[in-house]
Structure 1
Amino acid sequence: MKKPPIVTSISTAVFSLFLAGCQSVPAPEAILPVPQEKQVNWQKMETYAFVHFGLNTFNDREWGYGDSDPKTFNPARLDCEQWVQTFVNSGMKGVILTAKHHDGFCLWPTQLTEYCIRNTPYKDGKGDIVRELSDACKKYGIKFAVYLSPWDRHQANYGTPEYVDYFYKQLNELLTNYGDVFEIWFDGANGGDGWYGGAKDVRTIDRKTYYDYPRAYKMIDELQPQAVIFSDGGPGCRWVGNESGFAGATNWSFLRAGEVYPGYPKYRELQYGHADGNQWVAAECDVSIRPGWFYHPEEDDKVKTVDQLTDLYYRSVGHNATLLLNFPVDRNGLIHPTDSLNAVSFHQRVQKELADNLLSSAKVVASDERGGKFKVRAATDGQYETYWATNDGVTSADLTFTFTQPTKMNRVMIQEYIPLGQRVKSFVVEYKEGDQWLPVKCNEETTTVGYKRLLRFETVETEELRIRFTDARGCLCISEAGAYYAPDATENYTSATSELRTFPFAILGVDAEEAKKCSDKNDQTTALISGKEIVIDLGENRTIHSFYYLPDQSEYSKGLISSYELSAGTTEETMQVVAQGEFSNIRNNPILQNVYFSPVEARYLRLKATRMVDESDSLGIAEIGCQ
Structure 2
Amino acid sequence: MTKKFLFAFLCPLIVFSQTKSNIVFIDPDDTPAEIIRKAANVIPAWRQYDWQKLELTAFIHFGMNTFMNLEWGRKDFDLSVFNPSGIDTDQWARILKEAGFKLIILTAKHHDGFCLWPSRYTDYDIENTPYKNGKGDIVKELSESCRKEGIKFGIYLSPWDMHEKTYGSDAYNEYFRNQLKELLTNYGEIAEVWFDGACGEGPSGKKQIYDWNSYYELIRELQPDCIIANMGPDVRWVGTESGYGRKTEWSVLPGNIMDTELIAASSQQKRLDNAFIPRDLTEEDLGSREKILKAKSLIWYPAEIDVSIRPRWFYHKEDDNFVKSPEKLFDIYLNSVGLNGVLLLNVPPNKDGLIVDQDIKSLIGFKYLIENTFGRNLATGKVTFVSSEREGNSAALILDNDYETYWTTYGSDSTAVIEISLDTIRTFNCAMLQENILEGQRIEKFSLEFWRHNQWKKFATGTTIGYKRLFKFDPVTTSRVRIIIEQCRTNPTLSSFGLYITPPSLSFSPGDTTFRDTLAIKINCDIPDSKIYYTLDGSLPDSNSTLYDGEIIIDSSTTITAVAFSGDGKKGLPVSVDYYKAKYEIISLTKYSQAYSGGGKYALVNGVRGSSYFKDGNWQGYHGNDLVAVLDLKEYKRIRKISAGFLKDINAYIFFPDSVTFYTSEDGINFNKLGSKKTVDTNENNAEIQSVSINANGINCRYIKIEAKNIGVCPEWHVGKGAKAWLFADEITVE
TM-score w.r.t. the length of structure 1 is: 0.78
Deviates more, 1:247-256 or 1:454-463: 247-256
3-state SS in 2 of match to 1:579: coil
- Contact kept? 1:256, 1:274, Cα under 8 Å: no
CA distance in 1, matches of 2:466, 2:423: 30
In the other structure, the counterpart of 1:106 is: 115
CA change 1:240–1:596 in 2 (3 A) is same
3-state SS in 1 of match to 2:388: coil
In the other structure, the counterpart of 2:688 is: 595
Q: Which of the residues 221, 224, 235 maps onto 1:237?
A: 235
Q: CA deviation at 1:256?
A: 2.8
- Contact kept? 2:243, 2:306, Cα under 8 Å: yes
Map 1:130-529; keep pairs closer than 5 Å.
130-191=139-200, 203-204=206-207, 210-232=209-231, 234-257=232-255, 267-269=282-284, 276=291, 278-372=298-392, 374-440=393-459, 446-490=462-506, 513=591, 529=624
CA distance in 2, matches of 1:136, 1:129: 10
Amino acid in the other structure paired with 1:288: S
- Contact kept? 1:112, 1:170, Cα under 8 Å: yes
Q: CA deviation at 1:415?
A: 0.5
Q: CA deviation at 1:518?
A: 6.8
In the other structure, the counterpart of 1:7 is: none
In the other structure, the counterpart of 2:701 is: none
Amino acid in the other structure paired with 1:474: T
> Identity of aligned pairs, percent?
36
Q: Show CA shifts across 1:474-510 (max 9, x none).
A: 1012111111222442257999999999xx9xxxxxx
Amino acid in the other structure paired with 2:312: G
Question: Which one has the largest radius of gyration?
Answer: 2
- Contact kept? 2:593, 2:623, Cα under 8 Å: no
When the two chains are superposed, the root-mean-square deviation of aligned CA atoms in Å is 4.0
Amino acid in the other structure paired with 1:269: E
CA change 1:100–1:63 in 2 (3 A) is same
Q: Which of the residues 30, 50, 65 maps onto 1:41?
A: 50
Q: CA deviation at 1:224?
A: 1.1
CA change 1:515–1:455 in 2 (3 A) is closer
Q: CA deviation at 1:301?
A: 1.2
- Contact kept? 1:549, 1:624, Cα under 8 Å: no
Q: Which of the residues 570, 581, 584 maps onto 2:684?
A: 581
- Relative contact order (C-alpha < 8 Å, sep 6+): which is higher? 1
Q: Does 1:547 pair with 2:545?
A: no
Q: Show CA shifts across 1:404-441 (max 9, x none).
A: 3322122111101112211110110000013200001x
- Contact kept? 2:646, 2:729, Cα under 8 Å: no
- Contact kept? 1:49, 1:327, Cα under 8 Å: yes
- Contact kept? 2:369, 2:502, Cα under 8 Å: no
Q: CA deviation at 1:82?
A: 0.4
- Contact kept? 2:646, 2:728, Cα under 8 Å: no
CA distance in 1, matches of 2:372, 2:594: 44
CA distance in 2, matches of 1:216, 1:493: 53
In the other structure, the counterpart of 1:66 is: 75
CA change 1:305–1:518 in 2 (3 A) is closer
Amino acid in the other structure paired with 2:227: V
CA change 1:347–1:520 in 2 (3 A) is closer
Q: CA deviation at 1:604?
A: 7.8
CA distance in 1, matches of 2:508, 2:114: 39
Q: Show CA shifts across 1:54-79 (max 9, x none).
A: 01001100110222211111111100
Q: CA deviation at 1:42?
A: 0.2
Q: CA deviation at 1:33?
A: 2.8
- Contact kept? 1:34, 1:421, Cα under 8 Å: yes
Number of matched pairs: 554
3-state SS in 1 of match to 2:146: helix
- Contact kept? 2:677, 2:692, Cα under 8 Å: no
Amino acid in the other structure paired with 2:685: E
CA distance in 1, matches of 2:381, 2:84: 53
3-state SS in 2 of match to 1:411: strand
Q: CA deviation at 1:265?
A: 6.4
Q: Show CA shifts across 1:254-281 (max 9, x none).
A: 33326599996673438x6666352211
CA distance in 2, matches of 1:490, 1:400: 33
CA change 1:138–1:565 in 2 (3 A) is same
Amino acid in the other structure paired with 1:254: V
Q: CA deviation at 1:117?
A: 0.6
- Contact kept? 1:254, 1:274, Cα under 8 Å: no
- Contact kept? 1:427, 1:447, Cα under 8 Å: yes
- Contact kept? 1:415, 1:479, Cα under 8 Å: yes
3-state SS in 1 of match to 2:304: strand
Q: CA deviation at 1:173?
A: 1.1
Q: CA deviation at 1:109?
A: 0.6
Amino acid in the other structure paired with 1:459: P
CA change 1:62–1:406 in 2 (3 A) is same
In the other structure, the counterpart of 1:116 is: 125
Q: Show CA shifts across 1:221-248 (max 9, x none).
A: 111111111125x411111111111101
CA distance in 1, matches of 2:242, 2:717: 24
CA distance in 1, matches of 2:364, 2:169: 45
3-state SS in 1 of match to 2:322: coil
CA distance in 1, matches of 2:462, 2:68: 45
Amino acid in the other structure paired with 1:122: Y
TM-score w.r.t. the length of structure 2 is: 0.67
Q: Show CA shifts across 1:196-238 (max 9, x none).
A: 67xxx95345xxxx11211112111111111111125x41111
3-state SS in 1 of match to 2:398: helix
CA distance in 2, matches of 1:497, 1:212: 53
- Contact kept? 1:328, 1:335, Cα under 8 Å: yes
Q: CA deviation at 1:547?
A: 2.6
- Contact kept? 2:383, 2:418, Cα under 8 Å: no
Amino acid in the other structure paired with 2:684: G
Amino acid in the other structure paired with 1:313: Y
Amino acid in the other structure paired with 1:309: L
CA change 1:538–1:484 in 2 (3 A) is closer
CA distance in 1, matches of 2:227, 2:508: 36
CA distance in 2, matches of 1:336, 1:423: 43
- Contact kept? 2:679, 2:692, Cα under 8 Å: no
CA distance in 2, matches of 1:54, 1:497: 38
